[in-house]
Amino acid sequence: MYITKAELQDFRNYENLVIEFHPNVNLILGNNAQGKTNLIEAIYLSSLGKSFRTSNDFEMIKFGKKFFRIKIEAEKKDEDVCVEMAVSKESKAVKLNGHKIRKISELLESIYIVVFSPEDLKIVKEEPEKRRKFIDRELCQIKPVYFNNISKYKKVLLQRNAMLKENSPKITLLEIWNQELCEYGAKIITHRAEFVKKIDKISSEIHKNITNGREKLHVQYESNVPFMKNLEDQKSLFLEKINENLEKDLLRRSTSVGPHRDDLKITINGIDIRKYGSQGQQRTAALSLKLAEIMLIKDETEEDCILLLDDVLSELDEERQNYLINSLSGIQLFITSAELSEKVKSTLPEGKRFYVENGKIKEAE
């Protein structure tokens, strides 16, 4: 699978752009704040229908304009794919292969994209929300049913929390929200547990190779509600925990248990590196997790994903740069950077080189 072409109109700092890409490597070079990340952000929208930088679609509209349009074309083993999106302050419309879709979940499984940015290097040591997003982003791509469950769970959670903030919450209505929260939450916990088990196995092997066998990486799911193998048992346990914490929830006016409180425990040789790992260990673990994402997509879908490396090579030392590049043969790469050393450029497969300046792109000859 690879992206063949992108068309952007009034997206971020791009007025009108039509650009064709190489199936192997696409280097997007230029100074900071010129539009490098904006370009790969537009590409990423074709995968999940939302940005990896903002939750507000309006922020992507060019300043002074009323809407943006993007069109991303890709080739897969069995079919061509075209994703179009138009966003204004009043509406958002998405088309897949010329047909308007009603729900974003219909877009999933069309184009598989993994993004790796400097923020992802902090995933190990920063707040649990970053690690939950790591899980959710991946699961939404490979399991559209998960996307539906997490979306519904968040809506129910908002409704329950809103009721908890009322002066006199109606317990009978809370019981309805509790049932729905447990219905979707139990499914989320089950999917997350399966995902983390797979990602643990793959990332552990990758990490072992990067460190020449010196370190053993282990990723463990820390569910706020203990994991149960049977779905009905999971629902029952979740509901039990919700009821146990009702008094506390009423006092704090928020929901204290559920997958919105989950985390990952990440250890190297048995030591929790979220708290005690060196920066080098944390970055290597993050790199292992990202590469594991790519391999998991291949295992689950039999499709190669597209990798967006957003200014991340400069954050890695030479050893990790080499490992990353050598691990990615056969997949399409988009690499943004202010500059790359000639040594790094020489190790990259055949591709195209683009230079970005103030929303204008020029291909190197």
In DSSP terms, 271 is beta-bridged to 268
Q: What's the token pair of residue 131?
A: 């690690």
Consult the annotation and say whether 172 binds a ligand: no
CA proximity to 50, closest of 99, 117, 103, 98? 103
3-state secondary structure of 22: coil
- 31 marked as part of a ligand binding site: yes
Cα 331 from Cα 246, distance rounded (Å): 49
269 is in an annotated binding site: no
User: Looking up tokens 């997790």, which residue turns up?
Assistant: 289
Instruction: List % helix, strand, coil for the chain (3-state, nearest 5).
Output: 45, 25, 30
Helices 128-142, 171-210: axis angle to 10 degrees equals 90
The token duo for 51 is: 């940005």
326 belongs to an annotated ligand binding site = no
Where do runs of H (alpha helix) occur along the chain? Answer: 36-48, 128-142, 144-164, 171-210, 231-244, 246-252, 273-276, 279-301, 318-326, 342-347
What is the distance between the alpha carbons of residues 142 and 344, in angstroms, rounded to a whole number?
32
332 annotated as a binding-site residue: no
C-beta neighbour count of 212 within 10 angstroms: 7
| d(C-alpha 266, C-alpha 273), whole Å | 6
Q: How many residues are there in the chain?
A: 365
How does DSSP classify residue 107? T
Is 190 assigned a ligand-binding role in the annotation?
no
Detail the residues annotated as belonging to a binding site.
Answer: 30-37
Detail the residues annotated as belonging to a binding site for ATP.
Answer: 30-37
